[in-house]
Structure 1
């Protein structure tokens, strides 16, 4: 009998404290962004991933206008590995706009590079302050993560920050809705390969092939700036894409979203 009473009391306590626990660790249906890759110029797909409706509801970007041979070049800059100056040199010489999604670490460590990105006409986007899984933190913490980056980018560059790349590519409806309510457009991608592992670099030719074989109209290309391969292949990727009739567009021009 005593044991039964104890179980009942524990159940009551657990029920009473449930809302606080949810706020402290609000994990509900987290998704890791993924897609069916493009082949032979065909469009990639998220039809089987289970989150298509969530992206649509929150005006997130996966593709540009798939009726146009346009490309959007984006980089994730979690930390500097010595290659971003060369990347910026190529973009300047080729007259290609890009978007760089930066973390708090990058802003503190490389303020001059961030200033250069903005001065040369690129978008400096929000990649969160500490790169957390945002599905595991509260809405208040999400606001803090994004506001810290937004404030520092604005202080360094004068740019208003309106684009966000969810850290780790992890999201759910709550995190997209919260960031969207703060005025952000969540930017995912439709071209990518495993380029972030600095211990597994396979050469510029490999990087070039991995990107070019996935090109398609309206592509949002994700590259990581820590990759030596990407840096060495970037110029030839741009040249070949243009030879195929593609035009590199500024992220601010992305008005049509396709799913």
Structure 2
């Protein structure tokens, strides 16, 4: 009898251990990677399998010379119009990750983004740290911003999400994935979000060109004049080097196309 009880206790303990280990961790991560240069993708370490586990993306096909421009828009500093002008002139698609403040403050620019063929992604209505928020608060935050985006544009759904400040954990990935969002990270970025720091367009140009690689998802902030001034040079130089510009929705389509 004692042996039978012991076996039951052991089975319960094993079940609990396996259940706990299967639950998403609540440890918060600040997204980052080890840069490789020479047109090689960075080393994401354990972030790569964690993001993939919840159907997120951080780059395209590393064997195709195609890159993806993404912009984070927390607030308007007067450069987005110029950026949109350049993208239109050069016929380059982009994805803009917006906060609720941005949509409220610059609805005409938000409308223009979609009218000119770009995608708008959710960057959290309140630029909220989802690792510290309840599931209900996360759902409400996402819904509020989605409704704002669809109110001001003809985009009838919001597929892509980028966590505020690049802070996430397994719980936030799981919740957003279950809600149907695709978490979008990146493999090319630099410190460019301080609007009062001007290093000149060559600085932004060099930062991107040193890190770029086939399949790169490039993150730029629209509050930077350096980025706006560098954009034409970047597009021209990347094309000169044989790169094409893709749209994030192509990455979802690629996943649906069967391979030989």
Per the TM superposition, whether the score is higher than 0.5 is: yes
Aligned partners of 2:25 and 2:170 also within 8 Å: no
In structure 2, what is the equivalent of residue 245 of structure 1?
A: 242
Question: Does 1:217 find its partner at 2:186?
Answer: no
CA distance in 1: counterparts of 2:49 and 2:230, whole angstroms: 35
CA distance in 1: counterparts of 2:151 and 2:27, whole angstroms: 35
State the TM-score, normalized to the length of structure 1: 0.86
Q: Which moved more, 1:137-146 or 1:193-202?
A: 193-202
In structure 1, what is the equivalent of residue 6 of structure 2?
A: none
CA distance in 2: counterparts of 1:45 and 1:171, whole angstroms: 18
In structure 2, what is the equivalent of residue 34 of structure 1?
A: 32
CA distance in 1: counterparts of 2:224 and 2:98, whole angstroms: 15
Structure 1: give runs of 5+ residues left out of the alignment.
Answer: 1-25
The aligned length equals 230
In structure 2, what is the equivalent of residue 202 of structure 1?
A: 199
Question: Does 1:69 find its partner at 2:65?
Answer: yes
SS at match of 2:126: coil
CA deviation string 1:98-126 (max 9, x = no partner): 00000000010000000000000000110
Shift of 1:185: 0.3
CA distance in 2: counterparts of 1:105 and 1:72, whole angstroms: 25
Aligned partners of 1:195 and 1:201 also within 8 Å: no
SS at match of 1:174: helix
CA distance in 2: counterparts of 1:74 and 1:51, whole angstroms: 20
SS at match of 1:254: helix
Aligned partners of 1:27 and 1:136 also within 8 Å: no
> Among residues 146, 150, 155, which one is paired with 1:154 in the alignment?
150
CA deviation string 1:140-161 (max 9, x = no partner): 0000110011111111112111
Aligned partners of 2:188 and 2:216 also within 8 Å: yes
Question: Does 1:131 find its partner at 2:127?
Answer: yes
CA distance in 2: counterparts of 1:199 and 1:228, whole angstroms: 9
Shift of 1:38: 3.4
CA distance in 2: counterparts of 1:252 and 1:27, whole angstroms: 29
Change (3 A) 1:27 1:79: farther
Q: Which moved more, 1:192-201 or 1:220-229?
A: 192-201
Question: Does 1:191 find its partner at 2:192?
Answer: no
Structure 2: give runs of 5+ residues left out of the alignment.
Answer: 1-23, 256-260
Q: Which moved more, 1:57-66 or 1:27-36?
A: 27-36
CA deviation string 1:170-224 (max 9, x = no partner): 0001101101111100000000011111222200011101111111000000000
Question: Does 1:165 find its partner at 2:162?
Answer: yes
Q: How does 1:63-142 map to 2 (within 5 A)?
A: 63-142=59-138
Q: Give me the CA root mean square deviation.
A: 1.4
CA deviation string 1:46-85 (max 9, x = no partner): 12xx333321110111110111000000000000000000
SS at match of 2:78: coil
Poorly superposed stretches of 4+, deviation over 6 Å: none
Aligned partners of 2:129 and 2:164 also within 8 Å: yes
